[in-house]
Amino acid sequence: MLVHPLAGVYAAAVTPIKENQTFDREAMPALLDFLARRGCHGALILGTTGEGPSFSPEERQAIWQAALEVRQDHPEFRLLAGTGTPSLTETSELNRAAFGMGFDGVVVLPPYYFRNASEEGLYVWFKKVIEMSVPNNGAVFAYHFPRVSGVPLSLNLLQRLKEDFPDQFLGIKDSSGELAHVQDLRQALGREFITLVGNDRIFSRALGAGASGCITALANLRSKDLRIVWDGFLEGIEKGEAQRSLTTARDVLERFPPTPAFVKAMLRTLHQIPRWELGPPLTALSSEDEARATREMMRAVIR
């Protein structure tokens, strides 16, 4: 079975934040080391779970620079940068910075402020972003998360970008949570198009439908289960127990929003990782919700 070098299990990494609301630089390499040792092939830095839109361009670059230190002990660990803003210029600058640092790819949100933009307008925006900021060997993933961004990415739009930029526009982070969408992507864009799903609940079935891996918030906590499912898929062996555990844990995560708050709280209570703050406007779980979430996660077979 041929597997793309960028396929696999990725964590949508949280961002360590100190009590004074500044980035905890020393903590980022340690977090990524934790994820690498627990089976992650890589991590998305400053996606939704990482509170990416809350940081300035200068802060994002400092966070990415700190993340690169994980490769001192894990040289094969893959790093994807979360980019994409309503500004074409700022998005392009962020992409150039990430590629200049040596990131393996960028995951680009659509210009989310403009929710009524036409498909043609979105095509021109992505086309210009790629032309302005992506090297010939650079990997671009569109970020399809319409429930949050408010801007869905149609199959026709993705097909046009893939046809025009076959060596750069490699895939999508699909956070629709819909197995049917994974199947549609495979049918419309072929085996070479990399679909990384954002919902652990459908991971096994998504792999069977043609997905190339995942980028999930739950990978911060349950990457061992995700890796069991991934390795089993490559071996042709269904890992039902691990998938059921992931489904249960995903149900818990969705009952205690916001996701960054849940993940940071559970890293502390389940894995003894220092408690990190959240950037406004997000707020921490209440003590009651954190206690309930911990009990429910403990029942989901901690790995």
Q: Which residues are catalytic?
A: 48, 113, 143, 173
Please tell me the distance from the alpha carbon of residue 32 to that of residue 137, in angstroms, as a whole number.
Answer: 25
Please tell me the distance from the alpha carbon of residue 196 to that of residue 216, in angstroms, as a whole number.
Answer: 9
Hey, CA dihedral for 101, 103, 105, 107, is it positive or negative? negative
Please tell me the distance from the alpha carbon of residue 264 to that of residue 126, in angstroms, as a whole number.
Answer: 32
Please tell me the distance from the alpha carbon of residue 61 to that of residue 194, in angstroms, as a whole number.
Answer: 26
Please tell me the distance from the alpha carbon of residue 99 to that of residue 122, in angstroms, as a whole number.
Answer: 22
Residues in Cβ contact with 148 at an 8 Å cutoff, skipping those fewer than 6 apart: 48, 175
Q: Which of 62, 77, 76, 78 is nearest to 26 (CA)?
A: 62
Q: Are 62 and 29 in contact (CB under 8 A)?
A: no
Q: Provide Rg for the chain, Cα atoms.
A: 18
Beta bridge partners of 99: none
